[in-house]
Amino acid sequence: MSDLPDDDLPTTLPPDLRFLKLLVTVLAGVMIVGLVAIVALLVIRLRAPSPLPQLPPAITLPAGAQAEAVTFARSYTVVVTNQGEVLVFDKAGKQVGQVPIGGADGN
């Protein structure tokens, strides 16, 4: 219900208001495209599983040694023991290196 008669109502928006309406519409479109792009990238990245490292069939630690940390390189498996040694194993599980890193108390 308007106090103005029907023939006195403006039929078009003022130029400033039309420009503002255009800006809001463009901003909404850009936000929708951005959101779709982010969702698509997340789906693409999370769908492809990362390859697991190839583990040797068996690794034999020296007597009395317990593994504290294990890491995998391209062609080696590295084991840090509680005796303060770094043991390096090849893909077959054969020990190819041993490096002392200090005593068991971390000295």
For the chain, the domains span 12-47, 53-107
The strand pairing partners of 97, in sequence order, are 88
Check whether 30 has a pLDDT greater than 60. yes
Q: Residue 104's pLDDT is what? A: 53
- Span 62-87, pLDDT tens digits: 888 899 999 988 889 999 999 889 99
Give the chain's largest Cα–Cα span: 100
Computed over every residue of the chain, the mean pLDDT equals 85
| Top-level class of domain 53-107 | mainly beta
Q: What is the pTM of this model?
A: 0.50
Q: What is the pLDDT of residue 9?
A: 62
Which one, of 52, 51, 50, 57, lies nearest residue 90 by Cα? 57
